């Protein structure tokens, strides 16, 4: 044992303490995953060394053969995992093993419910890595030295997984990291060669470097070799380089968990080798659950990039557009240079070709999922639908393809689920209908009861109901699908085209002409509050509604811009009234102009509330309403 110097005791970051406690209890039912997580980290360390050694071959210190060794001691009740990868110096050890440097960690911890089953999913998607060692160990020792530093700058980290850890400087001849797990009482099953072999085969067969265990010895004790003989127990070849027919579903699933640091199986994957003008292999996955930091713009995203099977970088985000940032996987190119950097990636025309092809491959994979496994696609939509809605604005070339993947709530489905595709909608259109009708709003309850839908209900015309914050913005980019235009039923002068008979149109014109006097009186009463007053063709039951001008921002967009502190251009609504409603008939017959003005303002404010808007002067509305109630009760 080497002499320890510069020994100090440090406290874990608060988040680490919380995570350790929750993880040990929540993941206990699947405790063997600790080995998968530690092997995955060791594999990453080897990848990083291989990459850094491209520019600095001396980092290999004469030992270019990278491997992971796994051993155990039944008597001491320990399991040891050793790699000869990049290793860590003192600062690395404190940073990586004492803190969690992830954006949104506090939000993540707030989402934990105390329900172990639910929390285990969350903790899994957070990626517990090294800390999973404490599921089976009551003490963990880490010995490490960063490649390229002197033997005297080794470091020893030790903790019992509670409030603090110790760090000391030691001599360590070999680069890389050795982790010693002191097993808890009752966890001795892991100090067993057969058990460890099985776990490696189950979870880590796909790891692309050898995982070695001491060879099992079955002879006489006197014939036992003094030094252990090591044997490789995994396949030790990069999974994506193997033919698809040679890879089992379980192997694809375990590889996903390795690249995505996830605990759950993916919903779908696509493994593809491209040959010809461009040569690359891709293995892309659709996760089953959104990461907690999906909407953190600075959160890491992108694919693992390899060049000729040499790991180059994590989170290479140049290969897919931002609206597909949830996709995980690997891309391995033969056409990029081994010393490629992020700056070069951004300028390389090869990347544009690969990005275009990979984007199409992901969209094809999602189309296949929607067609073959609609329930799984619905699950995907709940997790990632809002992100996919960013697509039509970002990716003009694939706008129609993305539109086909979108799902909406609709008046034809009382559940309120976003489960209706545009193809479903077009399959149900009325004869003569050449438009796709939609309505945006703050909530499903608000839009499904909107007065704007009255004429559509009467005529049995389906309307898409859009309630996500992004929807109005989305529809400003999504103007048509399959040759049919989208029409916002709350915007402009509603024209139902062939769905209105000639008799209907003639009757509407006659009513509008007959009500010209009332229109002028309402314009005088409402003044600057409205852009226009007109007879409504939308209403069958309600007295009045507010329509949005053809070029004006809708309520959703106004609220988003206001919330972000941007100046919103002033826009006045169009006041439409139902001439056959008893309240409008009473209003038309009202001779007292003051009373007429009060009633007009009450109808205007009620129409604003029905549209989900807030009143500019709620006190005035209450006063007018109270005045009316007093008159009625007198």
- Main-chain phi, psi angles of 542, to 5 degrees: -90, 155
313 a known binding residue?
A: no
Strand locations in 18-107, DSSP E?
68-73, 78-83
Tokens coding 415: 């559940």
580 a known binding residue?
A: no
The angle at the Cα of 135, spanning 129 to 136, to the nearest 5 degrees, equals 115
Distances (CA, A) of 613 to 604, 609, 610: 11, 5, 7
91 a known binding residue?
A: no
Helices and strands per DSSP (H, E), number in the chain: 22, 22
What is the sign of the dihedral through the CA atoms of 87, 89, 93 and 96?
Answer: negative
255 a known binding residue?
A: no
Tokens coding 538: 């939308």
51 a known binding residue?
A: no
d(CA 48, CA 62): 17
Q: Which residues 6+ apart lie within 8 Å of 366 measured at CB? A: 268, 286, 377, 380, 405
433 a known binding residue?
A: no
- Main-chain phi, psi angles of 170, to 5 degrees: -135, 170
Partner residues linked to 5 by β-bridges: 169
**Residue 363 and residue 357 in contact, taking contact as beta carbons nearer than 8 Å:** no
Nearest CA among 154, 118, 155 for reference residue 27? 118
288 a known binding residue?
A: no
441 a known binding residue?
A: no
11 a known binding residue?
A: no
128 a known binding residue?
A: yes
342 a known binding residue?
A: yes
104 a known binding residue?
A: yes
Partner residues linked to 72 by β-bridges: 79
Nearest CA among 444, 437, 489 for reference residue 467? 444
Helix axes 33-55, 193-203, angle to 10 degrees: 70
Length of the chain: 634
d(CA 65, CA 414): 62
126 a known binding residue?
A: yes
H or E element: which one contains 167? strand 164-170
125 a known binding residue?
A: yes
12 a known binding residue?
A: no
Residues flagged as binding site for ATP: 37, 41, 83, 88, 102-104, 125-130, 177, 342
Residues flagged as binding site: 37, 41, 83, 88, 102-104, 125-130, 177, 342
């Amino acid at each position: 044992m080497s002499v320890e110097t510069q020994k100090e005791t440090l406290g874990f970051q608060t988040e680490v303490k919380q995570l350790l406690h929750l993880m040990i209890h929540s993941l206990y039912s699947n405790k063997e995953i600790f080995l998968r997580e530690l092997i995955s980290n060791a594999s990453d360390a080897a990848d990083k060394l291989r990459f850094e050694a491209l520019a600095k071959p001396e980092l290999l210190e004469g030992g270019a053969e990278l491997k992971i060794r796994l051993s155990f001691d039944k008597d001491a009740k320990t399991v040891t995992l050793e790699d000869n990868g990049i290793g860590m110096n003192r600062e690395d050890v404190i940073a990586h093993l004492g803190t969690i440097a992830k954006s949104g960690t506090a939000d993540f911890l707030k989402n934990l419910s105390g329900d172990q089953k639910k929390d285990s999913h969350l903790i899994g998607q957070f990626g517990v890595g090294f800390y999973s060692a404490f599921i089976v160990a009551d003490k963990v020792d880490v010995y490490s030295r960063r490649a390229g530093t002197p033997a005297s700058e080794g470091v020893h980290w030790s903790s019992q997984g509670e409030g603090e850890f110790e760090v000391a400087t030691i001599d360590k001849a070999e680069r890389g990291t050795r982790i010693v797990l002191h097993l808890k009482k009752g966890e001795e099953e892991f100090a067993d060669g057969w058990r460890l072999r099985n776990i490696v085969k189950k979870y880590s067969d796909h790891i692309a470097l050898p995982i070695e265990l001491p060879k099992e010895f079955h002879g006489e004790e006197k014939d036992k070799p003094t030094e252990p003989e090591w044997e490789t127990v995994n396949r030790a070849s990069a999974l994506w380089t193997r033919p698809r027919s040679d890879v089992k579903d379980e192997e694809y699933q375990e590889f996903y968990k390795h690249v995505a640091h996830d605990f759950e199986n993916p919903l779908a994957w696509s493994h593809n080798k491209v040959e010809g003008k461009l040569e690359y292999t891709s293995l892309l996955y659709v996760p089953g659950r959104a990461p907690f930091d999906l909407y953190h713009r600075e959160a890491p995203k992108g694919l693992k990039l390899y060049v000729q099977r040499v790991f180059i970088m994590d989170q290479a985000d140049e290969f897919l557009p931002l609206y597909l940032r949830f996709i995980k996987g690997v891309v391995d190119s033969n056409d990029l240079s081994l010393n490629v950097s992020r700056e070069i990636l951004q300028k390389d025309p090869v990347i544009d070709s690969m990005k275009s092809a990979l984007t199409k491959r992901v969209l094809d994979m999602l189309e296949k999922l929607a067609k073959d496994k609609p329930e799984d696609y619905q699950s995907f939509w709940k997790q990632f639908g809002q992100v996919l809605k960013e697509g039509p604005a970002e990716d003009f070339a694939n706008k129609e393809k993305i539109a086909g993947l979108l799902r909406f709530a609709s008046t034809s489905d009382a559940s309120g689920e976003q489960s209706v595709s545009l193809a479903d909608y077009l399959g149900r259109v009325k004869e003569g209908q050449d438009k796709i009708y939609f309505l945006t709003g703050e909530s499903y309850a608000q839009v499904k009861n909107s007065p704007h839908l009255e004429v559509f209900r009467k005529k049995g015309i389906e309307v898409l109901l859009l309630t996500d914050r992004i929807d109005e913005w989305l529809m400003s980019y999504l103007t048509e699908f399959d040759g049919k235009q989208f029409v916002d039923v709350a915007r402009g002068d509603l024209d139902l085209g062939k769905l209105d008979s000639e008799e209907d149109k003639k009757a509407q014109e006659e009513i509008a002409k007959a009500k010209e006097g009332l229109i002028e009186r309402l314009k005088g009463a409402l003044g600057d509050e409205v852009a226009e007053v007109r007879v409504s063709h939308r209403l069958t039951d309600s007295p009045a509604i507010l329509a949005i001008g053809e070029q004006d921002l809708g309520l959703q967009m106004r609220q988003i811009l206001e919330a972000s502190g941007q100046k919103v251009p002033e826009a006045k609504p169009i006041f439409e009234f139902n001439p056959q409603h008893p309240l409008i008939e009473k209003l038309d017959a009202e001779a007292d102009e003051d009373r007429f003005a009060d009633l007009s303002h009450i109808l205007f404010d009620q129409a604003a509330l029905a549209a989900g808007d807030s009143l500019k002067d709620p006190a005035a509305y209450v006063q007018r309403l109270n005045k009316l109630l007093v008159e009625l009760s007198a």
